[in-house]
Amino acid sequence: MIDPSPKRNLEDLEQNIGYIFRDKGLLRNALIHKSFHHENREEAPSYNERVEFLGDSVVGLIIVEYLFLLEEKYSESVMAKIKSYLVSESVLSDIARSISLSDYLFLGKGEESTGGREKKSILADALEAVIGAVYIDGGLEKTRRMVLKFFAGRIDSAVQSGEFYDYKTELQEKTQLLYATLPEYRVIKEQGEEHRRVFTVAVFLGGKKLGVASGRRKKEAETLAAKKAIERLEESDSGS
């Protein structure tokens, strides 16, 4: 039997995700990276890519269903943008870190030595693999409850803030076209305890402040600041 990371045991991970496996082997397999498999074929005859592929589809279905059932009836294109944002490597790896998933991964020596436990791609894939394993072990309803435990708040936040829309890229394209320069983002204030930190970000163009916004993450604050900057530029254009 493969022993989990000496830092943690799999029961701790089950507590973190809020699901107890009937078949513990499914969870172990979801945590095995191909680098470990290649170095330990007898101990780990398979690895997590197949179940990760399944988990990717399952989490996509659950997110789209949640969006579809919201009171606000979003168009297919908007739902696609929100889904794409939520299943991005950045969001998935952030959730993986919130449950300390890196402590439970089985990595090969080479991957371990190059910081594999902190790689966004490995963490995101492992989270999807765990979701796929829960689906196989417990079915859709239990998987939905687990996924929404981690995603519902993020979905609501993304919908309300517009974080799913790439305002930063739009602003960059506008400023390059109109002024041949790039916007600059600066954190001008940080408030709250570390786990409840609120960032306030200002976006500048040629030293002129175009927008200010706050968010629980720097990226969210930058996105909202970019949105305000675009609105200001559009108001300036319409008034000229």
Which residue out of 94, 128, 220, 222 is catalytically annotated?
Answer: 128
The dihedrals phi and psi of 80, each to the nearest 5 degrees, come to -65, -40
In angstroms, what is the C-alpha Rg of the chain?
21
Which residue stretches of 87-217 are H helix?
89-98, 109-113, 120-138, 140-161, 167-179
**Strand order through the sheet with 208-215:** 184-191, 198-205, 208-215
The answer to whether 128 is a known catalytic residue is yes
Instruction: For tokens 């687990």, name the residue.
Output: 146
The answer to whether 222 is a known catalytic residue is no
Which residue out of 56, 94, 137, 222 is catalytically annotated?
Answer: 56
Tokens of 35: 């680098």
Inter-residue contact 203 to 172 (CB < 8 Å):
no
Inter-residue contact 203 to 211 (CB < 8 Å):
yes
Active site residues: 56, 128
